[in-house]
Chains A and B, each alone.
Chain A
Amino acid sequence: NLCLLFFQSVTIVCYSESFAFIYKYCTIYFYLLWPLPQQLHQSADRGCLSPQRFSFTYGRDSAAQTGCSVLDAAFKRYFSIIFPDFTKGSGLLMCENQSNRLSVKTGGCDGYPDEDSDESYNLSVSEGQAVLRSVTVWGALRGLESFSQLVYQDDYGSYFINKTEIVDFPRFAFRGLLLDTSRHYLPLHAILKTLDAMAYSKFNVFHWHIVDDPSFPYQSRTFPDLSNKGAFHPFTHIYTQSDVMRVIEHARMRGIRVVPEFDSPGHTQSWGKGQPGLLTPCYKGGVPSGSFGPVDPTIDTTYKFMESLLKEVKFVFPDSYVHLGGDEVSFACWQSNPNVRKFMEKMGFGKDFTKLESFYMESIMNMTAALNRTSIVWQDVFDYHERIPQDTVLEIWKGEKYQAELSRMTQAGHRVLLSAPWYINHISYGQDWRNSYAVQPQNFSGTEEQKKLVIGGEVAMWGEYVDATNLTPRLWPRACAAAERLWSNEEKTLNADLAFPRLEEFRCELLRRGIQAEPLFVGHCKHEYDGL
């Protein structure tokens, strides 16, 4: 009996991993899902999957049918993920079972995922048939990912899946990952690869920190000089409009939102090159020193420029959120400039430059609101001036005391994103994913209402020391820890030791799918990475 054989082989596999505890959990999780679904029931009964007979079909009562771009593409993608050897000829043993079908019952083939997208799904795998039910295509994508993680191959190359019932939904609606394409330019394929891996971990927001001090790679239609003069190179180190569209479409196909960040008034050195008059001229001893500071908040042209730029951003990026930055503004240059000082006086700001920054940010946020977009800003903006538009989303990035900050912000009624504990560009020796995993985003003093205002979090991979050479292994599987924290039930996933074998397995799965994910500790994968 084929199936008996299979079970023996699982047992052996478990023993051979010199970790005794894996064996224990093998009996519970035959299939190591990441992130862990909210409710999971698996039985020892399994069925074979035949690549020849397997198919994805739309349920008869499904609102989405063939022609739904997102799911048609997802079927194609997941077929080769599930059956990697299919094109190379299948396993020795033919599956004698009935035909397999995955039936998808879903509704609404929306354009883009958004903050309210329902990502929940139910997956029921029974004899010969699996049914995936979801309200939206985005939920269907999450379910397809889980389904693909349930399928495994035995040593003879045959594919199996166990009887499984999954009821799943994300704990947080906003599960983001930040890439910084300014400090180092990231080639398009590095970004697309990251989006692939994000989908495997059920991340759903790509926070694109697209420009900053060092370079301006975004090619603007309205202000082409910004990248012509502000990019590392005006032709090889930029994102054209079609590049950006490709990123957005690649992300959409995976149920991922693209939220761009145009950080101002600080972090804008590279803007100044292509937009003369935008930045504040710094003074030294009564004369301009030749260097420039943050955006000049005292002149009308600045606001006109920002309005045009934000209009373009609205046009190019479909997401309803825009990140406006607002962090780490150095006041020294403003202070040195006599025009800025005059403006301060006129406005009655005294010597408090935080008021000037708030004045600027408020204008930009109002502009954004007028464009029907939700602003995200870094915590600095709130720290300077607590009375900011209520629907602004605040992002916490400062490491110390983020719990207190969560309390204050939610008390003020703001929605909050947490990224402070997930700055994974900071590296150290050993298994630092455990620190990310131990984070409890709602563990702060506040009411239930306040806790609900935490809409999610973000993993941040800042670019000081990262480019295409090391991005992927530095990101994966370290980012997976936050992915599970943001998706799964915290009570079921607090123990990092229990998560370890599952994550180890998942990183091997990432490797098999062509993601260059680094090891967690000593050991090996069946399919090692075969690049450099």
Chain B
Amino acid sequence: MYCLLKLAPLFLAVAVCNGWLFGDFVGKQKEQDEISLWPLPQKFQSSAVAFKLSPASFQIVHAKQSSAGPSCGLLENAFRRYELHSPLFTFEPVLLYDSDLVELQVWVTSADPECDGFPSLQTDESYELSIDEPSAVLKAANVWGALRGLETFSQLVYEDYYGVNNINKTDISDFPRFAHRGILLDSSRHFLPLKVILANLEAMAMNKFNVFHWHIVDDQSFPYMSRTFPELSQKGAYHPFTHVYTPSDVKMVIEFARMRGIRVIPEFDTPGHTESWGNGQLDLLTPCYSGSSPSGTFGPVNPILNSSYDFMTQFFKEISTVFPDAYIHLGGDEVDFRCWESNPDIQKFMAQQGFGTDYSKLESFYIQRTQSKGYMVWQEVFDNGVKLKDDTVVEVWMGNKMEEELQNVTRAGFTTILSAPWYLDYISYGQDWQHYYKVEPLSFPGTDAQKKLVIGGEACLWGEYVDATNLTPRLWPRASAVAERLWSDKSVTDVGNAYNRLVQHRCRMVKRGIPAEPLFVGHCRQEYKGL
């Protein structure tokens, strides 16, 4: 018998024998392993025919016809990553065996593979993957699709009970349902060390997220180190040296994200949520009044001073050179009008402009003057009737009347992304991922043209109660539910099936070093080893 030939420790032999004896049981387990793709591809065909993959002989290579070759650093880097990711090298090779499958050929079809480019909203992320003897082929228009395909390939590999890596004969044709699939992290309420951000970019790639919405500054702290205005972080960060993102940190985040096909969209939220800006930039904020004299506290950005706009122009000029993405998030949410109301100069200005007592007009006035390149804004900016450029992306975040808002925004012809149902900082006991999973972003009443304007969504992890200690397990695998909703077909809604796959997927994340928390009672073959 097969198991008797092995010189493995006794327990392995026992396990192997059990495998023979309880064939059905093992078969069931295997099946579960095999179908644990996350997010589920659009078209997926798999047969029971399994090929062995040997760490010694299997490799990922550029296809001959591919427009990308060894000079494509992005893919070379990805090949290495996925060789390590797949269980190929992570398990002690007990058995030596030959590969049925010797290589995965990666074939980039368009003339420009975009090896040195950045992903964008228009990026084509589709790919085709065919697993057959002796070579598997991954076909994509550009490197971005290839990255998605590599992740899928790595998820197809499973370890059987003899410790051998297997992959089934499979054909996949895949593409995302939505173009904007984001995660928001908030590095102002708590500083997030670089390591945490990078680890989460890694986890995002495992879940085919493609936008890192970096809510980098806010009232509480200003960790972004500006070259033009260094005092902003010197005086606005929690600590001017240990709690800041230097230009090289930012560069590293952007490059790390690029390597994984992830866009980095920074948010510099104004005119509200700017208390920390005031520490390093005098006169930027509106002095609040108590009665007829300044109270010593400050409100939103002062919208009546030219100096505010000069500052913003210069500042956003820096931002648009530092961050390569075509979009910047300008915030615009939760502006508290009380301070503006208290300030006599602002009252005077309101009268001059004929705004009456409608302070949302003043906010509009401000936003219109600070518009830069492509931008995203929170929904209030739209709600307050600010005149927006056509390509503005409006982010819907308020839970009440979400459908109505989507209807209104798209009726006005603006593209929109949805984050209202996916505020992951709100925690509760139990399997709340199911709520996130059950959201259908296009369930609002509207024309097909309107629905097309919904370009995606974001899972937001605001930072009031989150820092490096608890961020990663709080985000994963809860955000994975959002990932599948935004990538897979609308019809993929079976929670039971999703549960089985997600259990495996979270174990896969754990195995790859991401402390993703459990969905429910159970275990992973390899438990989390950190702490």
Listed in ascending order, the chain A residues whose CB lies under 8 Å from chain B are 183-185, 187, 189-190, 193, 214-215, 232-237, 425-430, 463-470, 472-474, 511, 516-524, 526, 528-532
Q: Is the CB of A470 within 8 A of B515?
A: yes
Q: Is the CB of A185 within 8 A of B527?
A: yes
Q: Is the CB of A519 within 8 A of B472?
A: no
A215 CA to B521 CA in the complex, in Å?
10
Contact of B463 among A463, A522, A532 (CB under 8 A): A522
B517 at the interface (CB under 8 A from A): yes
Q: Is the CB of A522 within 8 A of B515?
A: no
B2 at the interface (CB under 8 A from A): no
Q: Is the CB of A519 within 8 A of B429?
A: no
The minimal Cβ–Cβ distance linking B24 to chain A, given in whole angstroms, is: 16
A180 CA to B494 CA in the complex, in Å?
31
B22 at the interface (CB under 8 A from A): no
The minimal Cβ–Cβ distance linking A205 to chain B, given in whole angstroms, is: 22
Known: A427-B427, A465-B517, A470-B517. A528 touches B468 (CB 8 A): yes
Q: Is the CB of A467 within 8 A of B517?
A: yes
Q: Is the CB of B468 within 8 A of A530?
A: yes
B residues less than 8 Å from A466 (CB atoms)? 517-518
Closest B residue to A183 using CB positions? B521
Please give me the 6 A-B residue pairs with the lowest Cβ-Cβ distance, nearest first: A473-B470, A470-B473, A469-B515, A232-B523, A524-B238, A470-B517
B531 at the interface (CB under 8 A from A): yes
B469 at the interface (CB under 8 A from A): yes
Closest A residue to B474 using CB positions? A470
Q: Chain B, 401-439, contact with A by CB distance < 8 Å: what is the 0/1 string?
A: 000000000000000000000000111111000000000
Interface residues of B in 424-469 (CB under 8 A from A): 425-430, 463-469
B residues less than 8 Å from A184 (CB atoms)? 518, 521-523
Q: Is the CB of B515 within 8 A of A532?
A: yes
Q: Is the CB of A429 within 8 A of B428?
A: yes
Closest B residue to A519 using CB positions? B467
A529 CA to B474 CA in the complex, in Å?
15
Q: Is the CB of B531 within 8 A of A516?
A: yes
A residues less than 8 Å from B426 (CB atoms)? 429
Please give the number of chain B residues whose Cβ is less than 8 angstroms from any Cβ of chain A in the complex: 49
Q: Chain B, 512-531, contact with A by CB distance < 8 Å: what is the 0/1 string?
A: 01111111111101011111
B221 at the interface (CB under 8 A from A): yes
A529 CA to B242 CA in the complex, in Å?
12
Contact of B472 among A190, A467, A511, A532 (CB under 8 A): A532
Q: Is the CB of B463 within 8 A of A215?
A: no
Q: Is the CB of A528 within 8 A of B523?
A: no
A193 CA to B530 CA in the complex, in Å?
12
B residues less than 8 Å from A520 (CB atoms)? 465
A425 CA to B467 CA in the complex, in Å?
19
A-B contact pairs, 24 of them (CB 8 A): A184-B523, A187-B528, A187-B529, A232-B523, A233-B525, A236-B525, A236-B527, A237-B527, A429-B427, A465-B430, A465-B517, A465-B519, A466-B518, A468-B528, A468-B529, A469-B510, A470-B473, A516-B470, A518-B470, A519-B469, A519-B470, A524-B191, A526-B239, A532-B195
A residues less than 8 Å from B193 (CB atoms)? 528-530
The minimal Cβ–Cβ distance linking B277 to chain A, given in whole angstroms, is: 15
A residues less than 8 Å from B221 (CB atoms)? 524
B4 at the interface (CB under 8 A from A): no
Closest B residue to A469 using CB positions? B515
Contact of B523 among A185, A189, A235, A429 (CB under 8 A): A185
Known: A524-B190, A531-B530. A469 touches B467 (CB 8 A): no
Q: Is the interface of B mostly helix, strand, loop or mixed?
A: loop
B199 at the interface (CB under 8 A from A): yes
A464 CA to B466 CA in the complex, in Å?
22
Q: Is the CB of B527 within 8 A of A468?
A: yes
Closest A residue to B198 using CB positions? A532
Known: A214-B521, A519-B190. 12 other contacts (CB 8 A): A430-B465, A468-B527, A469-B510, A472-B531, A519-B466, A519-B470, A520-B465, A523-B220, A524-B221, A528-B193, A529-B468, A532-B196
The total of interchain contacts (Cβ-Cβ below 8 angstroms) comes to 142
Q: Is the CB of B529 within 8 A of A524?
A: no
The residue in A193, A215, A532 that gathers the most chain B C-beta atoms within 10 A of its C-beta is A532
B189 at the interface (CB under 8 A from A): yes
B243 at the interface (CB under 8 A from A): yes
A245 CA to B426 CA in the complex, in Å?
40
Q: Is the CB of B11 within 8 A of A521?
A: no
A445 CA to B90 CA in the complex, in Å?
60
Listed in ascending order, the chain B residues whose CB lies under 8 Å from chain A are 11, 189-191, 193, 195-196, 199, 220-221, 238-239, 242-243, 425-430, 463-470, 472-474, 510, 513-523, 525, 527-531
Known: A193-B531, A532-B196. A518 touches B521 (CB 8 A): no
Q: Is the CB of B521 within 8 A of A464?
A: yes
B residues less than 8 Å from A429 (CB atoms)? 425-428, 465
A184 CA to B515 CA in the complex, in Å?
14
A232 CA to B527 CA in the complex, in Å?
11
Contact of A464 among B11, B242, B520, B527 (CB under 8 A): B520
A residues less than 8 Å from B529 (CB atoms)? 187, 468
A428 CA to B426 CA in the complex, in Å?
8
Q: Is the CB of A190 within 8 A of B531?
A: yes
The minimal Cβ–Cβ distance linking A19 to chain B, given in whole angstroms, is: 13
B residues less than 8 Å from A193 (CB atoms)? 531
B residues less than 8 Å from A426 (CB atoms)? 429
B residues less than 8 Å from A531 (CB atoms)? 468, 530-531
Closest A residue to B468 using CB positions? A529
Q: Is the CB of A427 within 8 A of B523?
A: no
A511 CA to B469 CA in the complex, in Å?
9
A223 CA to B11 CA in the complex, in Å?
18
B residues less than 8 Å from A516 (CB atoms)? 469-470, 531
A92 CA to B221 CA in the complex, in Å?
29
A residues less than 8 Å from B468 (CB atoms)? 528-532
Q: Is the CB of A529 within 8 A of B429?
A: no
Known: A523-B190, A531-B531, A532-B515. A233 touches B523 (CB 8 A): yes
A residues less than 8 Å from B513 (CB atoms)? 532
Closest A residue to B476 using CB positions? A469
B residues less than 8 Å from A522 (CB atoms)? 189-190, 220, 463-464
A314 CA to B429 CA in the complex, in Å?
36
Q: Is the CB of B196 within 8 A of A519?
A: no
Contact of A473 among B243, B425, B473 (CB under 8 A): B473
B residues less than 8 Å from A185 (CB atoms)? 523, 527
The minimal Cβ–Cβ distance linking B20 to chain A, given in whole angstroms, is: 17
B residues less than 8 Å from A235 (CB atoms)? 11
The minimal Cβ–Cβ distance linking A142 to chain B, given in whole angstroms, is: 25
A residues less than 8 Å from B465 (CB atoms)? 429-430, 518-521
The residue in B193, B242, B468 that gathers the most chain A C-beta atoms within 10 A of its C-beta is B468
Closest B residue to A429 using CB positions? B426
Known: A185-B523, A187-B527, A522-B464. A428 touches B427 (CB 8 A): yes
The minimal Cβ–Cβ distance linking A239 to chain B, given in whole angstroms, is: 13
A464 CA to B523 CA in the complex, in Å?
11
Contact of B518 among A467, A526, A529 (CB under 8 A): A467
Contact of A469 among B190, B191, B242, B517 (CB under 8 A): B517
The minimal Cβ–Cβ distance linking B44 to chain A, given in whole angstroms, is: 29
Q: Is the CB of B469 within 8 A of A517?
A: yes
Q: Is the CB of A428 within 8 A of B428?
A: yes
The minimal Cβ–Cβ distance linking B486 to chain A, given in whole angstroms, is: 24
Closest B residue to A189 using CB positions? B531
Known: A473-B473, A519-B469. A524 touches B243 (CB 8 A): yes
The minimal Cβ–Cβ distance linking B160 to chain A, given in whole angstroms, is: 16
A463 CA to B518 CA in the complex, in Å?
10
The minimal Cβ–Cβ distance linking A99 to chain B, given in whole angstroms, is: 33
The minimal Cβ–Cβ distance linking A180 to chain B, given in whole angstroms, is: 10
